[in-house]
Structure 1
Amino acid sequence: MTQTNDDADIADLLKGFSTCAVANISDNLDRAVGARGIRPFHNGGTMVGTALTVKAAPGDNTYIYQALENLSPSDVIVVDGAGYEDRALIGDIMANIAESKGAAGIVVDGSIRDVDEISSRSFPVFARGVIHLGPYKGGVGKLNVPISIGGMPVNPGDIVVGDADGIVAFSPGIAKSLLEATRQQQAKEADILASIANGTYAGAYSK
């Protein structure tokens, strides 16, 4: 498929955010945007992609399988499972399918299983909890609709970034200016850390 200018712009933005810490991005979103209670289970590394959203019935993963059939490379499957933790919505097989199709990661506001396998690999998987009990099947759900995970709104196509500190999502419309501000903050913090290391730091840091 021919890459459009918009596709190229998004690809450049995703590459740029891959070097940014979630905490710094969050600071430049007025410290008001972030998914609470969602944590990483994979073996380290930053996740950056665009949201393919799933609204799932609590404990039911039917529509996550539909998302796997509809994802594009660099998509992050973001699942609003209503925070329900009594059934695992994905496991290692679904994570492997997503990775094989070029997904950037999976985020579940709910539970997962097969944590030993998931934690041994670098494919990004974020979730609220862990349980061995498998999911329900055949429930209602929706794809590519506005959702909420951990109290954070996520719209289809939003840029999603995750690291050891958690998850943040934002509109591509603000991504360029946000990336510039985040890079400026990270450069400032790097200078401060260097001054601490060489003994020249003289003043409180405020952002």
Structure 2
Amino acid sequence: MSFATCDICDANEDKIATHELAVIPPIFMRFGNVTRFSGQAVTLKVFEDNVLVRSTLETPGNGRVLVIDGGGSFRCALVGGNLAALGEKNGWSGIIVHGCIRDVDEINACNIGVRAMAPMPLRSSKHGGGMKDLRINIAGIAIHPGDWIYADADGVVVARHALV
């Protein structure tokens, strides 16, 4: 896959004004062995509970990107090495966590792209809460199920339609 988020932004400035294209503010760190990834978004809204994250990553990813609105919590990790490996095995192209991850060395060994706010060694709870396939908001940017996510070393952009 060959794209650059800078080129996407430059070629689609008109879509930024109409909110068909948005750039997530630079709040994420890069993890995983894949630095450039893209795909349609599958959205989750969870808070300090990753049961829904696991059950989603257990399904075929088909090149999609799992976008997790974890409320920006720094109190526990929502994704660790086992879940990143599960995502890789099941064909997810990337995972974006508005929150924390753990097992950084394990995640960095996986052939999947991961963006998260920070590492945190404490695991999440396992109560089974959360919602799937809904509009979420990360750092002021709305992300709908099916939106296109493009991530590389320069950042993460969200488009209503495929751009590359």
Scaled by the length of structure 2, the TM-score of the pair is 0.86
Mapped to 1, the partners of 2:76 and 2:28 lie a distance apart of 16
Please name the residue that 2:6 is paired with: 23
Question: Is residue 120 from structure 1 mapped to residue 109 from structure 2 by the alignment?
Answer: yes
Mapped to 1, the partners of 2:110 and 2:60 lie a distance apart of 21
Mapped to 2, the partners of 1:137 and 1:108 lie a distance apart of 17
Aligned residue identity for 2:43: T
Please name the residue that 2:36 is paired with: 46
Determine which of 47, 54, 57 is the counterpart of 1:65. Answer: 54
Query: Which secondary structure state, in structure 2, belongs to the residue aligned with residue 167 of structure 1?
Result: strand
- Specify the structure having the higher radius of gyration (Cα): 1
**Two-structure CA RMSD over aligned residues (Å):** 1.9
Matched-pair identity in % = 35
Mapped to 1, the partners of 2:112 and 2:129 lie a distance apart of 28
Question: What stretches of structure 1 move > 6 A for 4+ residues in a row?
Answer: none
| Larger helix share, 1 or 2 | 1
Aligned residue identity for 1:98: G
2:61, 2:87 within 8 Å by CA — same for their partners in 1?
Answer: no
2:137, 2:143 within 8 Å by CA — same for their partners in 1?
Answer: yes
Query: Which secondary structure state, in structure 1, belongs to the residue aligned with residue 92 of structure 2?
Result: coil
2:32, 2:113 within 8 Å by CA — same for their partners in 1?
Answer: yes
Mapped to 1, the partners of 2:49 and 2:65 lie a distance apart of 19
Mapped to 1, the partners of 2:151 and 2:29 lie a distance apart of 9
Question: Is residue 149 from structure 1 mapped to residue 138 from structure 2 by the alignment?
Answer: yes
Mapped to 1, the partners of 2:87 and 2:110 lie a distance apart of 13
Question: Is residue 130 from structure 1 mapped to residue 113 from structure 2 by the alignment?
Answer: no
Shift of 1:153: 1.2
**Gapped runs of 5+ residues in structure 2?**
none
Question: Is residue 79 from structure 1 mapped to residue 62 from structure 2 by the alignment?
Answer: no
Which deviates more, 129-138 or 43-52? 43-52
Shift of 1:123: 1.4
Shift of 1:139: 4.9
Mapped to 2, the partners of 1:160 and 1:105 lie a distance apart of 9
